[in-house]
Every structure is written in C-alpha cells, then in structure tokens.
C-alpha cells in the first residue's frame, strides 16, 4: 500500500524542497518506488533540485485538469530508475488546483508507487492545505530557530485538524526533521537546542540534518545530496531519516563531516 507523505513547514526557506528530493532519492536508492510531487504551483523548484528542469513537458495542473495523462507528466530520474518526479506548473497559480483533481491524481499514483512524497509550498493557504489534505504521514521540516518552530507548531495544528485523516478522527503520523543544524552554533548556544524544539513541538524526531555547503552545492547542480555525495554528513543524515521512515530503529546522531588531516588544516578557508 502506497504511503502519501507531505513535507511541510509553514515557514519558507527551511529546506522542504531539498528534504523532499533527498528523502525521495534515499528511499528510491533502497529500492522503493518513489514519486516526488511538487505542490508549489507558480514557484516550482523541485524540478531544479532534482535536475529535471529541462525535461518538463506536462505538469501537475495539466494532469489535474485532464489536459495530459499522468504517464506523460511523470519524469523518471536518470540516475535512480525507481524515482519519478511530477512537476508543478510555473505559469499557473494555486487556484488551478482542486481538491477532487488532486485526490484523483494521488489515487492514480498510489497504484504505481510505494511512496508519494508531496513537497508543500510555504504558508498555510490553499496550496499548503491541498498538499497535506490526503497525506498519511507528515514530515515537518524545522530549523532550530524560534520563528521556524512557531510556524511548525501552527502547521502541526493544521495537520491535526484540516486533513482527511483528522476529519475521519484518525491520527496523522508526524515526524520532525530538524534541518540546517549548525553544530558549531549549537555548541555556542546560539540556536535552539534539539531538546527544546522537541519539547515545544512534541512530535517524534525523524532526523537532524547538519547545515552544510554540500547541500547547497547539491541543489545547485540539480542532484539530491544522497545521490551527489552520499558519504557527506547531510547525505548520511538523510539516509538515516529515510530508514526511520521505513520503520527501522536507527540511533539518533548528528553526523559530522569526515575530514582528513589536510581538510582539517585547510577546512577554514574563506569561501
């Protein structure tokens, strides 16, 4: 049975799209059939992060409105053949999405894949609520900053009230993914501590992704970090998170970069 996962946060810029791509790729690399769906209609980015921007012909809106078949719009990844992308439209806006249309597309995707990972737009408006409405589980992406934590709290409240599962009185499975975690700043006490974030949000922790240049570089070259640099700290953190999503019990650590002696000596060069 396919599982619909929504990656959401409320706040923008915390790493939803990067996390969608990385988790999706990590799950696909372990043999699962995965589709990542971009719900950020009008501001699509997932295709860029996945390196598929030059292959987009049809998009989610075309499928919802019946202008294209699902198979025409799905883009299969060239690196991992169990990974597909359903891009968003850049020229339309979120009003072009309808609840029935989205439900129909997701039902069709359920037949073909094990994981349907929906990249939610920022905010709490229609686009975000549509992305989460049909979800079975949610990954709440949060930075260890007060503004991000408060927005995540708001989103968790919406996940518990404005989704199909909530309306049926069922519980929505929620996971916290702490991203852009800076070990150095955390050591200096300049960020919220993991325990504080967990205490405020009180949902289980899926993983801690360290802030790293590698992640930014991966996004820029259009490859999820789990593909471009699987041995990096962030890459390993996403692999662990993906394993936890599949129900494995992995001890929680904050992966750090492995540096050789030369790396340590020259690690602090000016970027």
Say how far apart CA 138 and CA 171 lie, in whole Å. Answer: 11
State yes or no: residue 153 binds other proteins (CB under 8 A): yes
Q: What is the 3-state secondary structure (H, E, C) of 189-252?
A: CCCCCHHHHHHHHCCCEEEEEECCHHHHHHHHCCCCHHHHCCCCHHHHHHHHHHHHHCCCCCCC
Contact positions with other proteins (CB under 8 A) in 196-235: 199-200, 202
Say how far apart CA 61 and CA 103 lie, in whole Å. Answer: 13
State yes or no: residue 72 binds other proteins (CB under 8 A): no
| Listed ranges 30-38, 86-94, 115-123, 157-165: which one lies at the site for other proteins (CB under 8 A) | 157-165
Say how far apart CA 119 and CA 223 lie, in whole Å. Answer: 16
State yes or no: residue 151 binds other proteins (CB under 8 A): yes
State yes or no: residue 166 binds other proteins (CB under 8 A): no
| Listed ranges 86-94, 146-154, 215-223, 240-248: which one lies at the site for other proteins (CB under 8 A) | 146-154
Query: What's the min distance (Å) between Cβ of 132 and other proteins?
Result: 14
Nearer to other proteins by C-beta: 49 or 178? 178
Contact positions with other proteins (CB under 8 A) in 12-51: none
DSSP 124-151: SSHHHHHHHHT-SEEEEEE-SSHHHHHH
Token pair recorded at residue 2: 């396919």
State yes or no: residue 93 binds other proteins (CB under 8 A): no
Give the one residue of 50, 63, 86, 156 binding other proteins; rule: CB under 8 A: 156
- Interface ranges with other proteins (CB under 8 A): 124, 146, 150-151, 153-154, 156-158, 160, 199-200, 202
């Amino acid at each position: 049975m396919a599982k619909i996962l929504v990656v959401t946060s409320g706040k923008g810029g915390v790493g939803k799209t990067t996390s969608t791509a990385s988790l999706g790729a990590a799950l696909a690399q372990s043999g699962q059939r995965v589709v990542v769906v971009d719900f950020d209609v009008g501001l699509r980015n997932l295709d860029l992060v996945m390196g598929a921007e030059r292959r987009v012909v049809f998009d989610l809106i075309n499928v919802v409105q019946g202008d294209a078949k699902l198979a025409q719009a799905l883009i299969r990844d060239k690196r991992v053949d169990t990974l597909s992308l359903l891009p968003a439209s850049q020229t339309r806006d979120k009003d072009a999405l309808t609840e029935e249309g989205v439900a129909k597309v997701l039902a069709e995707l359920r037949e073909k894949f094990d994981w349907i990972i929906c990249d939610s737009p920022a905010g709490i408006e229609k686009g975000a609520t549509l992305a989460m409405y049909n979800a079975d589980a949610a990954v709440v992406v949060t930075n260890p900053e007060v503004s991000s934590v408060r927005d995540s709290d708001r989103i968790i409240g919406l996940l518990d009230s404005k989704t199909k599962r909530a309306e049926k009185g069922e519980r929505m499975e929620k996971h916290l993914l702490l991203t852009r975690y800076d070990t150095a700043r955390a050591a200096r006490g300049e960020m919220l501590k993991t325990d504080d974030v967990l205490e405020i949000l009180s949902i289980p922790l899926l993983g801690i992704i360290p802030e790293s240049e590698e992640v930014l570089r991966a996004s820029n070259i259009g490859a999820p970090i789990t593909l471009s640099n699987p041995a990096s700290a962030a890459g390993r953190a996403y692999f662990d998170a993906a394993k936890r999503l599949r129900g494995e019990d992995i001890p929680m650590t904050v992966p750090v970069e492995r540096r050789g002696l030369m790396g340590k000596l020259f690690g602090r060069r000016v970027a």
